[in-house]
Chain A
Amino acid sequence: MKKALATSATALAIIGLGITLTGCGHQSTANGEKTKSTTHTVALVTDGGGIDDKSFNQSAWEGMKAWGKEHGLSKGVHGYNYAQSTSNSDFAPNINKLIKANYKTIFGIGFNLQQTVSDAAQANPKTNFAIVDAVVPNRKNVASATFQTEQSSYLAGVATALSTKTNRVGFIGGQKSAVISTFQAGFTEGVHAVNPKIKVDVKYAGSFTAPDKGQSLATAMYNNQEDVIMTAAGGTGNGVFTAAKNLAKDGKKVWVIGADRDQKSDGAYKGGNVTLTSTIKNVGSAVEDLSNRAMKDQFPGGEVLKYNLKNHGVDISRDGLSAQTWQKVQAAKEAIISGKTKVSDTVK
């Protein structure tokens, strides 16, 4: 009972402080009202990873920062901002707090936020919402941004098939999910389009934040004569780069294919670079694009936007590809854009 008393006292103290402080809090929240309220404000909610995840949260935030810079805005309630979620239970409070802080357009980065965005959009019809990697149906104020990453992965597969010496290649995914499956499907299809005899070894680390697992998986795969590994594993992919660099320093010829951003700089080591190419998922330019459209009052609410090779929503970087391979990749890219090649987004 004493312990209970002690903790109740703790809580009472907190609430007491809360009440007294909120009572006099009005002056201090108004500390930025010099800026005019006509500017458009945007904010994003991360899906659990930070904005420095070297993957799509980071890409989204970079896009938002670029947008802010373009319009001379600064980070904060009168410009652009991000709310980090440490767990799924932070989604709804984060969105509600952004709404209360009057951000006009709110981005949910990642399929995990689908339900929360849908609910919030229904309750706040005047705010624009966007969801990345998922579709929110029947909401006129939600734009759903999906990425046809199977297309860029197909190109990575083509590049891989043309670069492998051992005819054994690997794929390391983060969490097994529909979004990551599009990478796997496109990659496998691309490899087999060039040479059906190449063996594709698919492994999942089960996490987007386990570089140690990525490293041990990759080391095992490289030792198994697989000389190119494609990653679609967020932070886990960093471990694949570490493994490749360690082996490359010992003189072994191995490659990594980066994901989401151009990961050329992550593959650099003294004496070379292990990045063969990177599949680029331009979440950042989608964020920038949608923010701009929202600013001009042309927000595509209710629409499902498909970002693909044609509209540069996804792409592939040249990095370590030879001129000859790059040429063939470009040809394959043209074929997809013109519709001659159709890439499936599901694993067969």
Chain B
Amino acid sequence: MKTARLWNIWIPTFAILAGLLIGAFIMVIFGYNPVDNYLSMFQGAFGDINSWGATLSDMTPLIFTALGFSIADSAGFFNIGSPGQALVGWLAAVWFALANSSLPGWLLIPGALLMGGVAGALLSGLAGVLRAYFGTNEVISTIMLNYVALYVVNYLVQTQLAIHHNDYSKTIPAAARLRTPFLEQLTRNSTFSYGFFMALAAAIIIFIVMRFSRIGFEIRAVGLNPTGAAYLGINSKAVIIRSMALSGFLSGLGGAINGLGNYENITVSSALPTIGFNGMAVSLLAGGNPLGILPAALLFSGLSIGGLNMSVVSNTPPEIVNVIIPTIIFFVGCNYAIRYLLNHQIWRKRAADHPAEAAQTTTFKREVD
């Protein structure tokens, strides 16, 4: 047991180091200094309060989209729709804030966030209904709904929210902002907002809901074995719709917080927001565990924010950075492969050296798997 825990720390560390090493190798090949660049990467992500602000701000929407993805995933559904759900959430929140600009902040912010969440839930709930009653594959329906969301949102921004032929809406009223002068001063004008604390709270709530509540149990039961769940008396159709809606609610909330906290307006976008797809990667990296999503999101945002610094303070082109960062993530992502290889190696070696210990190692192996 103790060895297993140790390995749980060692393997990801090894994965990160391997990723950094390959990244360094790439930089050396192209004639850039890896030591300087990694230093500026770490400084860019965690070097001072402004960098911390940017990193935490960047991870905020990722936590929401990752949580959303993990819930649908627990129920056995691959919700690819989080980019679209985040986008409609963003639109709904900004729209609500602009339309009700006279409301006080304590009403405006919850109202806008709720609108964002509901918009996301409606979109994913649609895919849920199609799945529950018509057996439509949710991967196809959510992918297609992403495009529906993108073009409908662009249309609405252009026709309803844009100010004189521009491609962006007005800025949200000050009362709806999730950033405050205090936070801006504290983090020296990063986009860090109170949304971060909401994200932390959401992760804890979802953890509790999934572990200890009835709906959490039902979702997991359906995910493990839909037929078995039906024998337990679980209405699987309702659970499918609920889990998809909850998943979309969280993604929509992520988009809403991104809109109110980070951008403070909405623009015509040429592509779906990256928080959706990155959120899926974060969730998969965390193995779907709501609390594991926090460090996984931090890793993602730290690398991406730190990576920006590499090309700003040196003449390393961003293209090189864009090769290195995914390389590192790739290695972290395949830490299960590394684990598998190491396990087999150790097991075989031990079995040969000390046959008596082999039995014990088998237990350890099962523990890790």
Instruction: Please list the residues of chain A having a beta carbon within 8 angstroms of any beta carbon in chain B.
Output: 1-15, 17-19, 21-22, 25, 28-29, 31, 43, 48, 50, 74-77, 81-84, 86-90, 92-94, 96-98, 100-101, 111-112, 114-116, 118-120, 123-124, 134, 174-179, 181, 206-209, 345-346
Contact = CB atoms under 8 A, between A and B. Distances in A.
Interface string B13-52: 1011000000000000000000110111011111100100
B273 A87 contact: yes
A49 B364 CA distance: 49
B189 interface: yes
A6 B11 contact: yes
A179 B162 CA distance: 13
A325 to B, nearest CB: 31
Contacts of B292: 3-8
Chain A contact residues, majority secondary structure = helix
Given A7-B286, A28-B36, A83-B312, A176 B264 contact: no
For the residues of B in contact with A, the DSSP-based class is helix
B189 A96 contact: yes
A13 B16 contact: yes
A209 B313 contact: no
A10 B299 contact: yes
Interface residues of B, number: 80
Contacts of B16: 10, 13-14
B202 interface: no
Interface of B: 4-5, 8-9, 11-13, 15-16, 35-36, 38-40, 42-47, 50, 54, 57-58, 61, 151, 154, 158, 162, 165-168, 171, 184, 189-191, 258, 262-265, 267-271, 273-275, 285-289, 291-292, 294-296, 298-299, 302, 304-306, 308-309, 311-315, 318-319, 322, 332, 335, 368
A12 B42 contact: no
Given A10-B16, A101-B313, A115-B263, A178 B39 contact: no
A76 B39 contact: no
B175 to A, nearest CB: 17
B328 to A, nearest CB: 9
B135 to A, nearest CB: 31
A17 to B, nearest CB: 6
Given A2-B8, A6-B9, A29-B40, A100 B50 contact: yes
A64 B274 CA distance: 29
B167 A179 contact: yes
B287 A3 contact: yes
Contacts of B308: 83, 90, 93-94, 97
Given A6-B335, A83-B308, A96-B50, A88 B263 contact: yes
Give the interface centre of A5, A50, A174 by most chain B CB atoms within 10 Å: A5
Given A3-B292, A123-B184, 15 more contacts: A4-B291, A11-B299, A18-B42, A21-B38, A21-B42, A29-B39, A29-B43, A81-B311, A88-B273, A92-B57, A93-B190, A97-B309, A116-B263, A118-B171, A178-B167
